[in-house]
Structure 1
Amino acid sequence: MVVRNYCAYARGFLDHLAQRNIPVADVTEAQVEQYLREAVALFQRRHGRLPGPRWHQIPCAGIHALLRLVQGRWPPATNAACAADALRFAICNEYEAWLLDERGLARPSIHALLWEARHFLAWHLERCGAEGLMDLSIDDTDRYMDLRALKLTRSSLKSVAERLRSLLRHLYRAGHIATDLSPHIIAPLLYAYEGVPSILERDQIAAVLESARADRTPAGLRDYAILQLLATYGLRSGEIRNLRIEDIDWRSETIRVRHSKTGACSFLPLMVPAGEAVLTYLRSGRPATAAREVFIRTRAPYRKLEKLYSLVRRRLCDAGIKPPGKCGPHIFRHARAVEMLRTSVPQKVIGDLLGHRSTASTAPYLKLATEDLRAIALDVPGAEGLA
């Protein structure tokens, strides 16, 4: 069905190009947008209503696949329209090479740093032009931070400050600015363990699992298996998304977990509920694909999942569970740690299961077991007199 839809929309787009004598190798983004606007108007004339908000995704996917096949890349690289754009592209290219070759950062970190670099340079060069970069001042960076702070939490703003410092160090090192401004970027102070993350109680986890188990669609089978792994092992999102078929040894009933932060591997016993959920998904829910990851998108292109946050949030909502804070997959990790803590599992064992390198990484979970901490609280000398 998906392949048929892709081909149908690609043929319609090719007919559109042929009527206008436009070679497919020369198609631009503006021409694709124009075609989609005409397709929406045609849909409205045929059906008497506008299509749904996500209707454009399938025609876009089919057309983009066609253009990637013909042009080798889509969307095409943006051409510099002025001197400021040319300078921004050049700086970002050399900054990316510096982050990769000299600092040796991982790709996700580089993408975050580059996004901030593009955003800052576009903002500043639009105001001052290419010739104004050398005169970058503390006032300019303060204005940018004030602009970014409007909709960000203190934690997010601290990350912005760290990314901006990195860019400013590179700009000074490469001779694009006259003064190293990185020491003047002030970030909000964050204190260790200052925030208490959300967790789920055992009855809430059971309700989420029961709600997902009732969904027997391919997406439901996949989501239930993911939730079982989250609830049983407290895995990180990346550890589940990168789980491969060969990581599960059905004969010895073990599962190999590649810890996304440390790069180490753990071999854990394959618990029956989690194993049965994964096996049911592999037999009845997983699409036929050459991808080796266990959990795959339900729609083409069939590849591993990019994130779990929206999946978990949707399943929590379906079960009527509304955590007070964040509602992503990490709340299952916190819940698993607290559950083990309440059953007197040593902190070192908890850390090993969660893939922590040191017990200090496990310490933040202690603040979640508030009732347990109250039970061992010491009396404050002189408290009777204060009462």
Structure 2
Amino acid sequence: MEQLSAVLKVLQEYDQTRYLSKATLRLYELSYLRVEKELKHPLEEGIELIEAVRHQANELIEQGKTSIIAYPTYSRMLCYLETGTVYDKYLIHNTTKTVLNQDSYSLVLYQFLTYLQSEGKSSFTIESYRNVVTQFLNHLNANGILDIAEIRGFLVVSFFEVLRGIWVSTNIRIAASAMRKFLGYLGYEGAILQAIPTNCPRHTPIIPMLEAEENAALAHYICHGDGFWRTKAILSLVYYLGIRAVDITNLKLENIDWVKETLSFVQSKTRNLLVLPLLPVIGNCIQRYLLEERLESNLRYVFLSLLPPHQKFSGHSVIYAIIRNVFAELSIRTSKQKGSRMSRHHAASKQLQNWVPLGTISNMLGHKNMDPTTIYATVEYEKLKPCCLEPYYKGAAL
């Protein structure tokens, strides 16, 4: 959300240089509020800002709503995220970059997108990868390559050189991920894959943590609160184990081993098997929910909607809404980031503060490797301060 706020501030400053009327400025202010609202949920679920912006812009294009004021807002946002500058009609002048220039590549692009869908990739990820791969295929066409079998390492290198000229550095990581997936899908390996840049910079925000009083309030609510057992069970899975919202939505009765006291399931994001301890407090909440609240159903999903026909949750946004309502009831993090992702961060942060190794935390969160887990080191405020200030307050003249 911090990156989103920064981009919107840039757009507001840009508006001030255009000598717009007060009425037009007001329309853009309303547009920014709408955009902020539309992007809030995907950002809280971990979607990169550039992916979310591109997805929303493409949605407006497909719906034929490019005349409404939200469209130029998304256009300018994408322009700034990809080029570092702002100018009007960015998407209109650059639509060819997301449209294939060579029909011979249409089938392979379609097959690749179908492959991503079969892997369960989100619509945001698929759209982002489609944009990158389309640009790469157009790059091949511009270099006279009309056969996918003729891809060589120098073409990959030159493609990223082009991107570096128009994309900000933190977004090159997205293109690298897309290209690694695409070339791997085509069966390329070795030198071709090594031509893709590694260790790309990424936006690393300071991860928020609950205050001590908020932490105590949540723990008390789970153990002694008056809410639904379903709510407590869902909250405890995020609060204690940091399970992703989408995995809670897909959790089935057979994923719970009451004898071995474990939870085991294949993660929706990584497709890896994750086995976690069924802590007593979590097991108690789930058991009370199953015995006292969950109505009879042939569905095997643990959590069902309260209203008839008692179906599986429509999406992981339901998990966010449930946790958000608990936060509101307990007056926790008013006007601040809240929800399942924040609670997941807090679960990891507590482990880190208790000196649990990053490798163990990475396994608990279901990360493929330790790189994403290192972001949680940013919560160690008291340990980070001396690292930053010590050279100055030890003998330095003020």
TM-score range for the pair, normalised by the shorter chain length:
0.5 to 0.7
The answer on 1:277 being equivalent to 2:285 is yes
The answer on 1:248 being equivalent to 2:261 is no
Larger radius of gyration: 1
Match of 1:367 in 2: 378
Say which of 63, 73, 98 aligns to 1:147. Answer: 73
Match of 1:331 in 2: 342
Match of 2:239 in 1: 231
Match of 2:360 in 1: 349
User: Which amino acid letter does the alignment assign opposite residue 295 of structure 2?
Assistant: P
The answer on 1:172 being equivalent to 2:101 is yes
Match of 2:60 in 1: 119
Shift of 1:223: 0.7
Superposition CA RMSD, Å: 4.4
**Relative to structure 1, is the Cα distance of residues 167 and 313 closer, same or farther in structure 2, using a 3 angstrom cutoff?**
farther
User: Which amino acid letter does the alignment assign opposite residue 367 of structure 1?
Assistant: T
User: Which amino acid letter does the alignment assign opposite residue 358 of structure 2?
Assistant: Q
SS of the aligned residue for 1:384 comes to: coil
**Relative to structure 1, is the Cα distance of residues 270 and 318 closer, same or farther in structure 2, using a 3 angstrom cutoff?**
same
User: Which amino acid letter does the alignment assign opposite residue 242 of structure 1?
Assistant: N
Partners of 2:362 and 2:369 within 8 A in 1? yes
**Relative to structure 1, is the Cα distance of residues 351 and 111 closer, same or farther in structure 2, using a 3 angstrom cutoff?**
closer
Partners of 1:117 and 1:167 within 8 A in 2? no
Of residues 275-284 and 117-126 in structure 1, the stretch that sits farther from structure 2 once superposed is: 117-126
User: Which amino acid letter does the alignment assign opposite residue 60 of structure 2?
Assistant: H
Match of 1:18 in 2: none
Structure 1 residue runs without a partner (length 5+): 1-109, 128-142
Match of 2:270 in 1: 262
Q: Distance in 1 between matches of 2:226 and 2:393?
A: 61
Match of 1:195 in 2: 205
Matches within 5 A, 1:314-325: 314-322=325-333, 325=336
Shift of 1:347: 0.9
The answer on 1:296 being equivalent to 2:328 is no
Shift of 1:366: 0.5
Shift of 1:168: 4.1
Shift of 1:321: 0.5
Partners of 1:199 and 1:334 within 8 A in 2? yes
Shift of 1:255: 1.0
User: Deviation string for 1:187-223 (max 9, x for gaps)?
Assistant: 5664634422322245413313434666656xx2111
SS of the aligned residue for 1:288 comes to: coil
Partners of 2:53 and 2:78 within 8 A in 1? no
User: Which amino acid letter does the alignment assign opposite residue 284 of structure 1?
Assistant: E
Structure 2 residue runs without a partner (length 5+): 1-50, 85-89, 107-133, 140-158, 171-200
Q: Distance in 1 between matches of 2:75 and 2:52?
A: 21
User: Which amino acid letter does the alignment assign opposite residue 227 of structure 1?
Assistant: L
User: Which amino acid letter does the alignment assign opposite residue 210 of structure 2?
Assistant: L
User: Which amino acid letter does the alignment assign opposite residue 327 of structure 1?
Assistant: K
Shift of 1:180: 5.4
Shift of 1:271: 0.6
Partners of 1:197 and 1:326 within 8 A in 2? no
Q: Distance in 1 between matches of 2:63 and 2:297?
A: 41
Shift of 1:320: 0.9
**Relative to structure 1, is the Cα distance of residues 279 and 202 closer, same or farther in structure 2, using a 3 angstrom cutoff?**
farther
**Relative to structure 1, is the Cα distance of residues 153 and 379 closer, same or farther in structure 2, using a 3 angstrom cutoff?**
farther
SS of the aligned residue for 2:101 comes to: helix
**Relative to structure 1, is the Cα distance of residues 378 and 315 closer, same or farther in structure 2, using a 3 angstrom cutoff?**
same
User: Deviation string for 1:88-129 (max 9, x for gaps)?
Assistant: xxxxxxxxxxxxxxxxxxxxxx999876544224548879xx
Identity of aligned residues (%): 22
Shift of 1:326: 1.9
User: Which amino acid letter does the alignment assign opposite residue 120 of structure 1?
Assistant: I
User: With structure 1 as the length reference, what TM-score do the two structures score?
Assistant: 0.55
Q: Distance in 1 between matches of 2:264 and 2:66?
A: 49
User: Which amino acid letter does the alignment assign opposite residue 98 of structure 2?
Assistant: R
User: With structure 2 as the length reference, what TM-score do the two structures score?
Assistant: 0.54
Match of 2:321 in 1: 310
